[in-house]
């Protein structure tokens, strides 16, 4: 069975359980996790582990799950009425639509903290656990994703310069992608590769955001599984550069990433190439 199929089974077997008599809290905790999604960040971590030590994959599922928990919390909060006010995510109604704002906020909070509980209990040495917790907290919190989100929200309807937009999305999107790759290297003990993968991941995350902005402008909500054509008041690459120049930027980033992959050891090249060929070119679909 493929690693991502096994990860999906792992995720479903480890859905958070709660005691009490709340009518929908546990169901709401599971809703966005079970709605699927690309599982892109877990796949990056598992690709690195698979390249260096496949025997560590069962342990690595815990770390991949923690990343997916944190990422899912961020989507739930991003969709709230006071942020993006989105009514669709992963092809399903968002939590504040299914239930209410309070449920969505608290479920997001719960998944965020549960991610670190999962890591704290993961079958790694204490040293590796601390490194993994640090990477996820640093890149997903006040120095990373949350910083990017608050900049994004504050500067809606106020145009930013290109360098400022890059900084915004480097934090909001790219750092968690880069952390996923680096955490895979931490698990297999590849310190030098960890640094190279983090740099690679920042560029990959920037490409991912440019592509998302392109798809927002070109896809229907049904194709994307979330609302589209709603970035007009946001600082997106398409808003600043226009669609054609954004496509050119995506092409340049994709070419750079393919070139950088050639510098990695062959097993890692092969794993990343298998995983990333579609994603790196998805703006061309």
Q: If you average pLDDT over every residue of the chain, what do you get?
A: 94
CA distance 180 to 197: 9
The pLDDT score that the predictor gives to residue 235 is 86
Question: How confident is the model over 46-56, as pLDDT tens digits?
Answer: 999 999 999 99
Distance (Å) of CA 28 to CA 48, 73, 255: 32, 12, 41
Domain spanning 3-284: CATH superfamily? Farnesyl Diphosphate Synthase (1.10.600.10)
- In the structure, what pLDDT confidence band is assigned to residue 228 with cuts at 50, 70 and 90? low
Considering just the CA atoms, what is the radius of gyration of the chain in Å?
A: 18
**Domain positions in the chain:** 3-284
Please name the residue that has the structure tokens 């190439």. 273
Question: How confident is the model over 8-39, as pLDDT tens digits?
Answer: 999 999 999 999 999 999 999 999 999 999 99
Residue 89: its H or E element: strand 88-89
Q: What is the largest CA-CA distance in the chain?
A: 55
DSSP 234: S
Question: How confident is the model over 230-266, as pLDDT tens digits?
Answer: 655 678 999 999 999 999 999 999 999 999 999 999 9
The pLDDT score that the predictor gives to residue 283 is 80
Question: How confident is the model over 167-214, as pLDDT tens digits?
Answer: 999 999 999 999 999 999 999 999 999 999 999 999 999 999 999 999
Please name every residue paired with 182 in a beta bridge, in sequence order, or none if there are none: none
Quote the tokens at residue 24: 């929908």
The answer to whether residues 86 and 94 touch, using CB atoms and an 8 Å cutoff, is yes
pLDDT > 90? residue 277: no
């Amino acid at each position: 069975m493929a690693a991502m199929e096994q990860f999906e089974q792992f995720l479903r077997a480890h859905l958070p359980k709660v005691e009490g008599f709340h009518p929908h809290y546990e169901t709401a905790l599971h809703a966005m996790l079970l709605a699927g999604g690309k599982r892109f960040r877990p796949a990056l971590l598992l690709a690195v582990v698979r390249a260096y030590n496949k025997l560590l994959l069962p342990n690595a599922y815990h770390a991949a799950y923690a990343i997916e928990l944190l990422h899912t919390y961020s989507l739930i909060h991003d969709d709230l009425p006071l942020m993006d006010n989105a009514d669709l995510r992963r092809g399903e109604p968002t939590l504040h639509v299914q239930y209410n704002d309070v449920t969505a906020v608290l479920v997001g909070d719960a998944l965020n903290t549960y991610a670190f509980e999962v890591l704290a209990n993961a079958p790694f040495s204490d040293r590796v656990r601390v490194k993994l917790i640090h990477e996820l907290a640093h890149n997903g919190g006040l120095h990373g994703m949350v910083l990017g989100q608050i900049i994004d929200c504050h500067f809606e309807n106020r145009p930013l310069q290109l360098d400022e937009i890059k900084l915004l999305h480097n934090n909001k999107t790219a750092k968690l992608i880069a952390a996923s790759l680096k955490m895979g290297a931490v698990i297999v003990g590849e310190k030098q590769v960890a640094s190279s993968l983090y740099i690679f991941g920042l560029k990959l995350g920037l490409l991912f955001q440019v592509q998302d902005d392109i798809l927002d402008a070109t896809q229907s909500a049904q194709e994307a599984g979330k609302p589209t054509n709603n970035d007009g008041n946001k600082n997106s690459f398409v808003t600043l550069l226009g669609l054609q120049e954004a496509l050119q930027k995506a092409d340049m980033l994709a070419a750079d990433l393919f070139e950088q992959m050639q510098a990695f050891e062959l097993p890692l090249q092969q794993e990343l190439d298998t995983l990333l060929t579609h994603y790196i070119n998805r703006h061309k679909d």
